[in-house]
Amino acid sequence: MKRVFYIFAMTWAAITLVSCDKFLTRNPENKISAELFLSTENDLALYSNGLIDAALPETSIAIGDDAYTDFCATKLSSDFYHPGIWGPDKGSGWSSGNFSFIRRCNYMIHNMDKAKANVSDETWRHYMGVARFWRAYAHFLKLQTFGDIPWIDKYLQPDDPILFAGRDDREYVFHMILEDFEYASENCNDNLELSRTNINRWVALAFMARACLWEGTYRSCHDINPSTGAFWNNSYESANEILAKAGSAADEIIESGVFSLHTGDVQTAYGELFNQNKVNAEEVIWGREYSEELAVSHDITGQYNSPTWGQQYSPTKEFVRMYLKTDGNPVTRDDVSITEEFEGRDWRMWQTVNSPGHKYQTLTGEIADKPTKFNEVFTGYAWIKWNQEKAENYRAGAECYNALPILRYGEILLIKAEVAERLGQMSESIWTATIGALRARAGVASIYPGSAAYRADSWLRDYYMEDIQHSSMLSNTLLEIMRERAVEMAMESESRHDDLIRWNMGDLIERRYNHQGWRGIYITAAEAAGGIIFNGATYHVRVGGSHDEYNYPIANTGADQTFSLSKGSYGYLIYNYKLEWDDKMYVSPIPTAALNVNKNLGQNKGW
């Protein structure tokens, strides 16, 4: 899991202080001594590039924790959600290297005064902003994982008391994270010419907006700090003040006019953000590119399309139902064949899920309709977002070179909209400029929920309101923003997982379809009897047999890792897989091994 990355123990001090000192104090190739390093602009740039190499997000933004939610079925789920498996003894992420990146950031901050006499004040402040951005970024990921964590803002030595201290209160830690992000957003340059991977003012603002949306809504939707079980103390920023910070950061990006939505043909514009070899200059604020020439690639297409590698990731019926019709209204039923389900729907659906007529290049170079091979998916639906649609890319470990957006303007519009609604500031003009703009890009009519033309979606309300503590907060406008986040950010930046956690809706991961498993395509009685014809291939469901390219074996027993049909001989395809949710899981446990070394860390509530 993404979250189980960080927290520290004495072993970190013993090992990383040696290994990092060895790396950070050895004489560079140009023979500059450690005492002089970080004294020139070239040194600062070189060290900053090293931080990018160490921490720039990669393929996890397209797979990661979103694969283990209500919107994606997997052959095997994460152990974290398996009944009776996960606990402090199994917890990880508390090893020697888990805090080494923060130490590297603090090393840069601690030593940058050497450069003050040799670089301009503007340059010095930019690189200080870069270092503080990364320090805040690393702490924020830890806070998302464990809640209360230690805040480390100095270059630690082996005898520092903090190595055996307790954890700091989450509210204090986020206050310090916010200070770092604000410094970075005010002092980093706004240069976009170098690379979209570099940290600049826009990246700092965008990530600050994302982090503040997370923390502000988390505290709004959770009555207590899950690490302690105590009510929020509001000693620093309140939830609404943090949300206002998210809105201000989003506004600054929007009002600058530097970025815009990538538009064009509604049938292709959205997908072009994820299947091109260059980051989209209009929309991508922070991203990374790959290069065949430099032998730098990723394997997302292979993971989504291989029957033997990866987790056979598959969209669910609940995800597909989120998409509106192009007239801006919701569908009223979903018990229709996949061959009809895409008709008149949001064009993002066609560019995210394998659809009738979607093309790929065969091994012989022919352009053909792409089949959905049943041994590659567990719901009958297949992801195509992020894919390089050539059969040669579908094998395990295949090299792909399409760029990965990490932060983009579309997300900033979503942040602006959610903040406005939660703070009571939403208006039709804000709606039109945010959610309306995203829907227009996808060929969907924008209907403001406050207008007479709006038709409420009872399915959407029932889906989100069941078993949650804060259902009174779910206005029609907020529900539509939640829908928009689902379809705009699908399998991207681990957005769905993070949304469920911050909205206090983690139980959706467990309850999915009647607490039974993931719900897939609807198979009509005629299709169950005669086969499903999709993109030139015929597929079958039958009792017994094997799960292969063109067949689902139906057991109808409800046993884990078996298939059922909701009506016995036809109906929704169900991949049975029972999971567990308990509210203590909003944070991960502190591993037992760490507590054995430093009992002052304390355990998270419930673990």
Overall domain count for the chain: 2
Do 145 and 4 meet the contact criterion of CB atoms below 8 Å apart? yes
Smallest Cα–Cα separation from 409: which of 526, 259, 521?
A: 259
Lookup result for tokens 């591993």: 591
pLDDT at 508: 96
Query: Do 195 and 129 fall within a single domain?
Result: yes
Is 87 found in the same domain as 29? yes
Strands of 74-215, DSSP E:
none
Q: Side chain identity at 266, as an amino acid letter? A: V
Which of the pair, 132 or 5, is modelled with greater confidence?
132
In a domain, 481, yes or no: no
Quick one: CA torsion of 346, 347, 348, 349, rounded to 10 degrees?
70
Residue 135: CATH number of its domain: 1.25.40.390
**Integer angstrom CA distances of residue 309 from 13, 352, 511:** 37, 21, 27
Where does residue 316 rank: exposed (0-12), middle (13-18), buried (19+ CB within 10 A)? buried
> What is the distance between the alpha carbons of residues 509 and 516, in angstroms, rounded to a whole number?
11
- Determine the pLDDT at residue 466: 75
Task: Say yes or no: 553 and 592 in one domain.
Answer: no
**What pLDDT shows up at residue 6?**
33
Owner of token pair 């406008």:
477
Q: 199 and 131, same structural domain? A: yes
- Give pLDDT tens digits for 238-280: 999 999 999 999 999 999 999 999 999 999 999 999 999 999 9
Q: Considering the domain boundaries, does residue 238 fall inside one? A: yes
pLDDT at 35: 76
Q: What is the mean pLDDT of residues 408-412?
A: 98
One domain, residues 525 and 591? no
Give one DSSP letter per residue of 268-296, joined into a string: THHHHHHHSSS--TTTEEEEE--BTTTTB
What type of residue sits at position 371? P
- Pair of tokens at residue 581: 């949710």
Q: Is the same domain home to 29 and 76?
A: yes
* pLDDT interval class at 106 (50, 70, 90): very high
Q: What is the pLDDT of residue 456?
A: 96
For residue 299, tell me if it sits in a domain.
Answer: no
Say what percent of the chain tops pLDDT 90.
84
Provide the residue type at 265 as one letter: D
Structure confidence at residue 4 (pLDDT) = 36
Same domain, 548 and 595: no
Q: Please compute the mean of the pLDDT values over residues 536-557 and round it to a whole number.
A: 95
Tell whether 248 is covered by a domain. Answer: yes
Count CB neighbours of 425 within 10 A.
12
- Minimal CA–CA distance to 508: which of 594, 418, 451, 583? 583
Residue 190, classed as helix, strand or coil, is coil
pLDDT computed for residue 606 by the predictor: 96
More confident residue, 83 or 70: 70
Q: What is the pLDDT of residues 445-488, one digit of tens each?
A: 999 999 999 999 999 999 998 755 555 579 999 999 999 999 99
How high is the pLDDT of residue 36?
83
- Please check whether residues 535 and 595 belong to one and the same domain: no
Q: Which of 463, 470, 453, 530 is nearest to 504 (CA)?
A: 470
**Domain assignment of residue 442, yes or no:** no
pLDDT tens track for 284-339: 999 999 999 989 999 999 999 999 888 999 999 999 999 999 999 999 999 999 99
pLDDT value for 210: 98
Residues 535 and 590 in one domain: no
pLDDT of res. 528: 97
Give the pLDDT of residue 163. Answer: 86
Round to whole Å and give the CA distance between 245 and 55: 25
In-domain check, residue 179: yes
What pTM, to 2 d.p., does this model score?
0.93
Using DSSP's 3-state secondary structure scheme, residue 564 falls into strand
Q: What is the mean pLDDT of the chain?
A: 92
Would residue 451 count as lying in a domain?
no
* Residue 389 banded pLDDT, cuts 50, 70, 90: very high
* Cβ atoms < 10 Å from Cβ of 394: 23
Element at 537 (helix H, strand E): strand 537-543
The pLDDT, as a whole number, for residue 469 is 55
Task: Give the structural domain span for 49.
Answer: 10-258+585-601
Same domain, 575 and 592: no
Retrieve residue 140's tokens.
């924020």
- Quick one: pLDDT band at residue 501, thresholds 50, 70, 90? very high
H/E/C letters for each residue in 167-195?
CECHHHHHHHHHHHHHHHHHHCCCCCCCC
Same structural domain for residues 546 and 597?
Answer: no
Residue with tokens 């990374």: 288
pLDDT digits (tens, 9 = 90+) for 187-243: 999 999 878 999 999 999 999 999 999 999 999 999 999 999 999 999 999 999 999
Mean pLDDT of 514-525: 97
594 shares a domain with 527? no
User: How many CA atoms are closer than 13 Å to the CA of 239, on its beta-carbon side?
Assistant: 18
Kindly state the helix (H) or strand (E) to which residue 478 belongs, with its residue range: helix 476-488
The per-residue pLDDT for range 9-53, each reduced to its tens digit, is 333 333 333 333 333 333 334 445 677 899 999 999 999 999 999
3-class SS of residue 95: coil
Of all residues in the chain, the percent with pLDDT exceeding 70 is: 92
pLDDT > 80? residue 168: yes
pLDDT tens for each residue of 140-152:
999 999 999 999 9
In a domain, 202, yes or no: yes
Phi, psi (rounded to 5 degrees) for 296: -115, 115
CA–CA dist 279, 266 (Å, integer): 19
Q: Which two tokens stand for residue 246?
A: 């998210």
